[in-house]
Amino acid sequence: MKKKGICLVLVMMLILGMAGSTVLAKNRPGSVVSTNVIGLAQGVINLQYEKVLNPGMSLYASPRLLIGGGLTGFGMIAGIKKYLNPTAPEGFWFGGHGDFAYVSAGTIASATGFGGGANLGYKYFLTDNFIIEGSLGLAYIYMSASVLGYTYVAGGTFGVTGSIGVGYAF
């Protein structure tokens, strides 16, 4: 009898916890704008816009601009985040993305890349609207380059990605 009572209490706690997180998710912001602090430190200006589709999923897009060190470039990442709990846009998430990038060194050289990857992360609300987010992932990019008018196919490569973002939710 004692075991049944403990199991009943645990099941009730689980149900109330799930219901409470769903109610709280309804009051959460539906959009987040953030920037990658690591990218800014490397000279890449980027913004990420994330739109919540439902309490467990969101879409995001992140345009990038590179100016400095003799290079100019632009790119875009777009993807999806699946939150482990129905608390989007806060909590643990995993997702996938597609990537495009173009970089130029004036008239000497340029490179174009396409790729994609998978990542996981955690977003935390510091206040009702200010967030901090960290993520790690694996990405694949296929590059082709042009040097002094000659085109080369550089091939593809895998890499580890990471970001620390700060932003505002509304």
pLDDT digits (tens, 9 = 90+) for 114-132: 999 999 999 999 999 999 9
Cβ atoms 119, 94 nearer than 8 A: yes
Residue 92: what pLDDT? Answer: 98
Q: Please give the average per-residue pLDDT across 72-86, as a whole number.
A: 97
- How many CA atoms within 13 Å lie on the side-chain side of 14? 6
- Residue 161, pLDDT above cutoff 50: yes
pTM: 0.80
Q: What is the domain range of residue 32?
A: 2-169
- Residue 16, pLDDT above cutoff 70: no
- Residue 64, pLDDT above cutoff 90: yes
Q: Please give the average per-residue pLDDT across 136-144, as a whole number.
A: 96
Integer Cα distance of 39 and 123 in angstroms: 17
Beta-bridge mates of residue 91: 123
Token pair of 29 as six digits: 């912001």
Q: How confident is the model at residue 147 (pLDDT cuts 50, 70, 90)?
A: very high
Q: How confident is the model at residue 133 (pLDDT cuts 50, 70, 90)?
A: very high
Higher-confidence residue of 76 and 70: namely 76
- Residue 45, pLDDT above cutoff 80: yes
Residue 42: what pLDDT? Answer: 85
- State the average pLDDT for the chain: 88
Cβ atoms 160, 25 nearer than 8 A: no
Q: How many domains does the chain have?
A: 1
Q: Please give the average per-residue pLDDT across 59-87, as a whole number.
A: 95
CATH number at residue 25: 2.40.160.20
